[in-house]
Amino acid sequence: MTYNCLFTVLTDEELVEDTLTHAMTAAQAYDAHLDVLCLGVDRTQTGYYYAGASAIVLQETITRANEEAEGIEAKAGAILKNSGLRWGSETGVAQLADLGRHVAARARFSDLVILPKPYGENRGAELEPITEAALFEGHTPAVILPEGGNPAPNPQRVMVGWNESIEALSAVRAALPLLKQADAVHVVVIDPPTHGPNRSDPGGMLSQYLARHGVSAEIDVLSKTLPRVSDVLMRHATDMDAEMLVMGAYGHSRFREAIFGGATRNMLEQATLPVLMAH
């Protein structure tokens, strides 16, 4: 099992080089085909214009989005053309509310989606729905890239955030090609339940599953000594010098996480290392 089909979405010229550097390094490491979707995003709300203006403003915003898409593709093509990789690119225009359909239609035919971190300074509003579309509608695992940082397509020290959820198990299965070649895999369990079938051996079933795939994992049981689960995970990732975090995405509803926060959203906001997520 490996990643033969990689996919990324570019919507901002400022993020093209960094995102493609990671995606191209992964494509070379996995000998994979890389598909690039260069999207111009129409961020307007056409229903709120004064009478008679909608058609004019809509045409103007579509024209601008087309120009953005062409500029992104030109920059991406200049980086990719002499790379020696197998790749393809496609341009398109989508309204902010309709991004999910375009991304999911292509993500579902990929093994792994590589995307920039959706939150932070100078990050467009379109990055969040793109990430969610890949995970939810595309049903495809995604590697979320931190700001800056060197590409690590084959991380040697991997941390798995484990809470016995189906989302976390999906992420582990998606990450198996990476876990098999890693030197160290740490399964991190935070405040395991005091009741339940696995209370005396937290992470034991997962460790057995990984062992049958040739992965020798250590189980790290931690207490929630910081306000948020993501804080504990990030501190432990720093302590063990992890190069990648594997975790489930959106165990709660996206609406709840958007309003109240949650481990997924918090991690997407503060991660300083690549995070492989699956739902």
How many Cα atoms are found within 13 Å in the side-chain-facing hemisphere of 194? 1
Amino acid at 202: P
Do 278 and 170 touch, CB atoms closer than 8 A?
A: yes
Q: What's the rounded Cα separation, in Å, for the pair 3 and 26?
A: 9
pLDDT the model gives residue 250: 77
Q: What is the mean pLDDT of each run of 10 residues along the chain (279 residues)?
A: 93 96 97 97 64 62 90 97 96 90 96 95 91 94 92 96 94 97 97 69 93 97 92 95 94 48 81 94
pLDDT the model gives residue 259: 41
The DSSP output letter for 133 is I
Six-digit token pair at 252?
Answer: 């709660």
Enter the pTM of the model. 0.90
Q: CB-based contacts of 199: which residues, under 8 Å, 6+ apart?
A: 192, 193
Q: What's the rounded Cα separation, in Å, for the pair 81 and 219?
A: 44
Q: What's the rounded Cα separation, in Å, for the pair 124 and 121?
A: 9
pLDDT the model gives residue 170: 96
Full set of structural domains in the chain with CATH: 5-145 (3.40.50.620), 157-278 (3.40.50.620)
Q: What's the rounded Cα separation, in Å, for the pair 103 and 274?
A: 21
